[in-house]
Structure 1
Amino acid sequence: MTIRTATARYEGLGKAGKGRISTGSGAMEQVAYGFGTRFGDEKGTNPEELIAAAHAGCFTMALAFALAKAGYEDGTLETKAAVTLEQEGEGFTVTRSALTLSASVPGIDPDRFAEIAAGAKANCPISKLLKAEITLDHTLS
């Protein structure tokens, strides 16, 4: 079992409040977040951006391992995740994570690649965590 941690601190309340997020690994330390970073253009991060990074990283790694297990030894995978936050009643809901993959895997049949990529999308731990719609578009060169 692996456990990873992060902390968030918010000072002030509502739109006037300001927060800081740090990860246990130290990759992020005291990164700003708040209303302006979530719904505006202020410098910092937000929960949806962090989910997008987690989903892109998780899916890409799952695909890399699945391709290796299938016998492929070389390739490049690049994934963008776009997480959609929509208002739902008085609150908000993450409704979608759209994965866009650009891949180069020498010698792979496009249908076989699509099958392996679909399996990675369905089985990466972050995909399993999300209750939102998950889509995958890919190009293979």
Structure 2
Amino acid sequence: MKRNGSAKWQGGIKDGSGAISTGSGALHAYPYGFSSRFEGVPGTNPEELLGAAHAGCFTMALSLILGEAKLTAERMETTATVTLEQVEGGYAITAVHLKLEAKIPGADQATLERLAAQAKAGCPVSKLFNTEITLEATLVS
């Protein structure tokens, strides 16, 4: 199974601009540039797209693991905060923090934490990152 994403760029690093697209068409020529990546200007950036991918992957993996434990989530919401820092030689993604809020009938906090840790370790996007990935899981009622 292969999935595609693409980017186009014109110009220099600060005065240039680009567009990111997904093969599925979910994003088509969505703008990004230096200012949206480093200065908080509207647009997207690779780090938030990685965060969305990681949050989606983790949440699906947890759904599978919950099913194996005979549990079904009524609701799960995950945010992945990707940290981009300037390091020697440029920039690096130095951490990802997953924050999960879940409503899972029949689960307790200890069960959620155990199963969420399994999902964090087993999710294919987690395996991609060579960085510290932290997780905060909260069971809500």
TM-score under structure 2 length normalisation: 0.95
Percent of counterpart pairs with the same letter?
A: 50
What's the RMSD between the two structures over aligned residues?
1.0
For residues 33-112 of structure 1, the aligned pairs below 5 Å read: 33-112=32-111
| Aligned counterparts of 1:24 and 1:43: Cα–Cα separation in 2 | 23
Aligned length: 140
Q: Secondary structure at the match of 2:14?
A: helix
Unaligned runs of 5+ in 2: none
| Aligned counterparts of 2:108 and 2:116: Cα–Cα separation in 1 | 12
Preserved contact between residue 98 and residue 135 of structure 2 (Cα < 8 Å): yes
| Aligned counterparts of 1:21 and 1:11: Cα–Cα separation in 2 | 12
Aligned to 2:122: 123
Letter in 2 for 1:51: L
Unaligned runs of 5+ in 1: none
Alignment pair present for 1:19 and 2:15:
no
Alignment pair present for 1:30 and 2:29:
yes
Give the drift of 1:74. Answer: 4.1
Moved over 6 A (4+): none
Letter in 2 for 1:46: N
TM-score under structure 1 length normalisation: 0.95
